[in-house]
Amino acid sequence: MVSNEKIIPIILLLLIFHSCKSDDSDLYTEPTNGIEIGTETDESNTGESSSVSNASLEDITSGFRQLMLIYGFPGAQVAITRNNKIVYLESFGKADIDAEIAVDDNSQFRIANISKPITLTAISKLVADGQLSLNDRVFGPSSILGTEFGVLPYDSEEESITIEHLVEHTAGFTNSPFDIMFDDNALTQEELIAKVLDERSLSSSPGSTYGFSNFGYSLLGRVIEKVTGKSYESYVKEFILAPMEISKMTIGVNSKSESTKQEVTYYTNFSNPYINPYGINIKRMDSHGGWIASAKDLALFAMKSDNEASIPDLLDPIDKLSYLKRDSWNHNGYLPGSISVLQVGYPTSYVVLVNKSAPDYLEIIQAIRNFMREKVEGRTDWPKTDVVNDL
């Protein structure tokens, strides 16, 4: 259990991962749940491509370097897709400052909240394949997760929670006094589930109120495991990522010593020692915030998720759930030491990954999005060559 000394900084971390709701703003305040940094908007990607093969995107490179200087990013990746081609893929700065290792196109970053669209895609596929229904109950007799967690009996509202409630953040789970996913790192996912059922009453009746919940998406990971008989990571890699030609994405690790050679080092301006890139349990966050990826990986994910038919998506639009049905949506992610931005749409999508965070992370996310919009919207000259390969 976290001590009272640690609870205050953990409460600050309630803002780390945030889900999506329809809204006209880029970053907005949910009155009952604090600041939302994972939003879906209907950002249109305007500007007709003239398909100029030698069109230069150097202004994006030079401009992003200036953005890095302003906000002190050690390293970053940026990818832009246009008409189902990766037309821009650039790596900037250092993956590790002390070791003087540069970020390259294969470097991997924690993507935080952008893990949720990946989980939602997996849930969408299971529903489309008839292995799951949005109306399936999560807890209680004849439910997906049954009665194996915590002390019985469950109350009637807990037993009324459905898959759809988890997907839409309306299950009624509370983040008070702090987000359970930032509790004692030694607790397993199963122990956390039991703790919530035993010790926390729902804040609202299931289906009645939106309330962002990392815990709800953690439960979706356990649902995927129960329905498929595979680990969450294995199912997603085999049935979601591999068909999208994404082979290197993986669930992150907790310590620097465990990380792969491709994973960047994370830096933060937070002075509080508890807000530490290596002081949180990333593995336990798998289905709500645990993936690491490169910008190229997420660009491929965007192209197979944008509802444009010339390169078929993994799922037919009719089979997608929630915001995945939209022609344009975005997610932003934040963790101590990392910031991630994903915009999905057609003809243009983009990804920005950074290996440093700071107390003004909301300003930084907004600055990144403003910069990318300025460079993307209304642009008429685009390269027609795929910088990775001709897809």
291-293 and 348-354 strand pairing: unpaired
Q: Worst-scoring range by mean pLDDT, 39-53, 63-77, 130-144, 288-302? A: 39-53
pLDDT surpassing 70 at residue 131: yes
Q: Which CATH superfamily is domain 4-376 in?
A: DD-peptidase/beta-lactamase superfamily (3.40.710.10)
Cα–Cα distance measured from residue 5 to residue 25, given in angstroms and rounded to the nearest whole number: 35
**Residues 112-122: tens digit of each pLDDT:** 999 999 999 99
Residue 299's nearest CA partner among 373, 167, 387 is 387
Residue 277 to residues 13, 24, 122, Cα–Cα distance (Å): 12, 32, 27
Cα–Cα distance measured from residue 380 to residue 161, given in angstroms and rounded to the nearest whole number: 48
3-state SS string for 234-264? HHHHHHHHHHHCCCCCEECCCCHHHCCCCEC
| pTM exceeds 0.75 | yes
pLDDT surpassing 50 at residue 36: no
Mean pLDDT of 187-195: 96
Q: Worst-scoring range by mean pLDDT, 49-63, 196-210, 373-387? A: 49-63
Spans of all domains in the chain: 4-376
Residue 363, H or E segment: helix 361-376
- The confidence score (pLDDT) of residue 328 equals 96
- DSSP bridge pairs for 92: 76
pLDDT surpassing 90 at residue 46: no
Mean pLDDT of 331-353: 97
pLDDT surpassing 50 at residue 40: no
Position 1 confidence tier, pLDDT thresholds 50, 70, 90? very low
Q: Worst-scoring range by mean pLDDT, 18-22, 219-223, 280-284? A: 18-22
